[in-house]
Structures are given as structure tokens and as C-alpha cells.
A and B are shown apart, each in its own frame.
Chain A
Amino acid sequence: MSDREHHTPLDGPSATPGSTRLPAAAAQLQALAREAHRPGVSRRALLGAGVAAMAGVMLAPGIRLIEIAGAQVERKPGEAASSAVRWGLLIDTTRCSPDCNDCVTACNTENGLSGGTAPTDSQWIRKIEIRDQRTGRTASAPVMCQHCANPPCVDVCPTGASFKRADGIVLVDRHSCIGCRYCVMACPYKARSFVHEPVTDQKPDVPRGKGCVESCTMCVHRVDDGRKPACVEACPEGAMLFGDLNDPDSAISRRVREISTTRIREDLRLDTGVRYHGI
């Protein structure tokens, strides 16, 4: 489990399998001690094996000396994003309050958006109220780019500006975006916005400009830096969980195995990277 996926509120008791690890490591060390008396085992090989066994020893619940199996390897400087990773979000709508707008505010601050909600303002996250018409049950959820594995916005883009990165993040390359807005029409989640006015006060990591389409980038500049998206970090209820869906040991993978999750418009079979619980 990598550090960036450690997420207290959504991690259930089963999320920290630390308690079982210490006896296992002790047994491993005992086996090594027996091995030492056998002829033909070099001292160096034994030493190496001992260090490897120690690495698995839990120092405290959730903290290990060296992260081994299942660890999200930190990307080296200049290393490209890998298709071994599929970034995803799990949003627990049972914890999401309709009065709270913190994820939207954090997104606006992080990405330099104005925060306006007029039709011509960019909105990367919208808070949506949904109501079951039969039962009257309501739920609140943030809806942003769902980072589809089969994104319609990429299918329709005439210049290749709308693209999916190897690790599943769907982005717009503003260098080749001509602002035709086909992707805005194609997206079933209403996730894309068009920049109508000149932008002056951009964040250095988030270039934005007039005439281009834009949407949630899953805070790609933070993710590449080994951090979580701003909305996930800002959620006061811990209702958002970010992580690698391809890693079976990540917190998000364990959680989607445990609880029932839905993807919006699952009938479109877009294989979105964002999942919701409780809608």
C-alpha cells in the first residue's frame, strides 16, 4: 500500500492487514536460522535474505521498513506515466453533504478557475443533487470528468487534442485543441468546459487559455508528483478515495471489492475511472 493511498475514513478495519504480518515475518526469520546450519549456504546470501525478511516486518500498523510487494513505485524524474497504473476515484455519497462545496472550491483554487457558475464559466467539478422520484431519497455527489477507459471525447476529437494518457487520465492538449467543442457535445457527463474569455492569472502548473476546451485533469500535475488530487485532499468527510485501480492491494481496489459501487451511465460501457457508492 502506498502512502498516497492511505486514507483513514474509507479504510475499514480490514484495510490494514498489519496484525498478521509480524508473526509471518518471525516465522520467515526462524526458517532462515534453520537454513544457516545447512552446508553450502553462503553467509552473504543469508545476509541478503535476512534483510529482505526484515523489510517485511511491520514497524507499526501501516508502516513498514521498506515497502515491498504491491508498492506503488515512485516515478523517477523524467519517467513517463505507465499503463500498469489506472488512476481512479471512489466517491462515497453517503458521506457527501449537500451543503458542502469544499471539493469544488479546492479544485478552483488549485487550477486557477474563477469559481463562477455562469454557462460561460469553466466548471471542472459540479455538485449534483439526485433524487429517487419513487422513494424521494436524495443524495449529493460531485461529478467531474469520469476518466473513461473508452472516452467518447477522444473518439470525436478531430485533431487528437483530446487524449487518454497511459495511466487512464483523460486530458486535453491545449497546444492542438482548436476549440471546436465536439468533445463537449460527446461527453455524457457534461464534464467539459470551453474557455470564452482571455485568462490572465493562471497557476504555473495549470496553463489555461481562451479558445480551448478543458476539464478535470485529476490534478495530473499533483499525481505526477506523487500527491493526491486537490478535491480528495480537501474533502472534510474523507468521502473521496484516490488510487490505482490496477493494484489489487491499493486502498481503492480493496474498497471497491468490499462495497457496492456504481458508475454513472454504466449502460454506455465507457469503463469510467470514477466510481460512486450509495447512489
Chain B
Amino acid sequence: MTLHRMTLLRHLTGTAVAGAALFGLTYVLDPFRDYQLATAAAYLCAAAGLTVLIGLNGQVSLGHGALMAVGAYTVAIVQNQFGDHNVVSQWTVPASLAAGVVAATLAGTVIGLAAARLRGPYLAGLTLVVAVALPAVTTVYHGVFKGDQGLSVFLPPVPDSLGVDFPLERWQAWLALAGALLVMLALANLGHGRFGRSMRAIRDNEVAASLAGIPVARVQVVAFLVSAATAGLGGGLFAVLSQSVSPDAYTLTLSLNLLLAVVIGGAGSLAGAVWGSLLLVLLRYWADELTGNLPLSAGLRTRLAGNLPLAVFGLLLIVVMLAAPGGVQGLLNRAGRWVRGRRTGRSAHRVEPSVGEPTAAQHSAPDAEPPAPVASHT
């Protein structure tokens, strides 16, 4: 029980256990799976920040792909500066990732200050503009960002101490997983404490929160800033994974994919963000595999080429949303409650506040659907 009370210690233990398990997992998986895992971890950084912003604070952002671009381009430029000056030490990657987080936070502060004055669809509209406009910046300042062609990212080679046969993909997975665990730990603590309660109070009723003495605008700006920082880290990790940055990788589609990860996992739930990020990587892949094995005539194959996997991907998403309107985590929570209900009778329906699944926590009725995500405004 003591462990239960000491939130920070519990989160640290959880992170350490998850870290150890994932560390082992990277050795079990082949390099391609490691790379997929790393991609999901990079998505998770951004999706986790976004799920806190949307699910806990009620601000919908369609512009987080652009914030990822800020992080990614910063990492690319800083890394290439290291490369040009022959600095190949391993600390360069964390240093440039930190720079990416700072840059994205600054960009997030600017957007967040404006966003705190806007509500619902207007906020979504503003962030949408950011997502659409930011890639164009790369062509206006062609000398720095190299336009549509983008920049390649210099990466120091895998440390020699790991051995010559050590796959780069496993090393990349370690970097990305370390970033994701750090984000999850920070957000879990943030969501559990005073700040988390303030965010939820504002989401539920701004006037009431304001009367209770919560500085509404400040909390909203800080919430946006936090999610911008995590998006910057996610974007920076993308740059490290793909060793290149270009506007095509950070279009509006990326912003919408992040929103998708949040909604399909269960808005407001950190565990849901994990599911969302994994599904974002794996569903596309499975759709490709599935359609690749279909026996089709040459003409039909040419006409459907590329579009069939996308259609299957979309169909799978619709099925998931129909089967689990509260997201994957909502479904799991219900399943968990059902199992416990069978084992210990009705008393198990008592719901304790828990970190990581706040949506479940505040809806104590066992059969209640988690709230429709605020995304429905858009």
C-alpha cells in the first residue's frame, strides 16, 4: 500500500521495469522490428503529449506535426553542425535532441499564447493553419532548410563498445525508447499532481475552475507548451531514425495521424497513447501485408496500387472505433472491470483514481462510455 501512496516512487519503479523489459525486447526482435518499435516510440512522445492536451485539458491541436518539424529540423541543423566540426561523440545526439525540445517549446509558447484565447473549433483552426503553413517556411528560407529536398542528418556511428555486429536499428530503438520513457514518466507525474487536477478542472468547466482560483490562461499555455516539448522530442527522434528531414515527412497528414493515435488509443489516457502509437505503425504494415498477398490481375493491381492498403487501413480504423468508441484503452478497462466483477462481485466496481487512465477514473459508472473526445468538434 505504501508504494501506492508514493506516486513518484511508483512511477519511477514502473518506468524502470518497463525500461528493463523493453531493453530485453530489443534483443529478441530482429532489426526491422526494432526499427518499427523505435518509430512507435517516437510517435508515442508526440501522441502522449497530445493526449494530455486533448484529453485532460480539452484543447484540440491539429498542428503538432508542425511542432515535430521544428524539433526535427533543429536536430538536423545542430547534428550537421557537429558533423561539420568533426564532433562525433555520442553525447551529440542527446544534446541536439535537447535543442530540438527547446526550439519546439519556444514555438509552442507562441502558439499556446494565442491558443489560450481561443476555444474549440477556433483553436483547431489556428493550429491547422500552423500545420499547413510551416512546411512552406522551408522553401522560403531555402538556404537553411533546402526546400522540398530537405536536409540529411549526420549521426555518429554506433558506439564501438557494443561490438561490430551491433545493428544500428537496435541502437536507434534504445534512443527512441529512452525518450519515450522519459516523456511517459514526466507526463504521468504531471497528470497526477496539482497541475493535472487544474487541467481537468478547466476542461470540465472553465468558469468553475476560475472561481476556484485556478489561473485558467496560464494552465492552458503551460499545457500547450508541455505537449509542444514532447512533440519536439518526437520530431527530433524521427530525424534521428530516418537520418533525413524534409517537409513531406511533416505534412498535415502527420498531425492528423497523431490525433488518430490519441483517439484510437483513448483520449486522455497515456496507456492509450501507447496503443495508438503501436497501431499507427503496425496497422499500416499489416494492411500492406494483407493486400500484397491478394491474387489480382495485372490491370486491377496497377489501378489499385498503393490505394488498397490505405483503404484497408481506413476500414480497420473504422472497425476499431465502432468496436471501441472509447479507444483501445477504454475497451481494455471495460474488459478488466468485467473480469474483476466476475471474480469479486459488485464491490470491484469501486474505481480508484489512477494515473495514466484519468478518463476511466473520473467516470465511475462501470458501464459508462468514456467521454466522446473533444475532437468531435472538428
Query: Do A and B share a complex?
Result: no
Name A residues whose Cβ lies closer than 8 Å to a Cβ of B. Answer: none
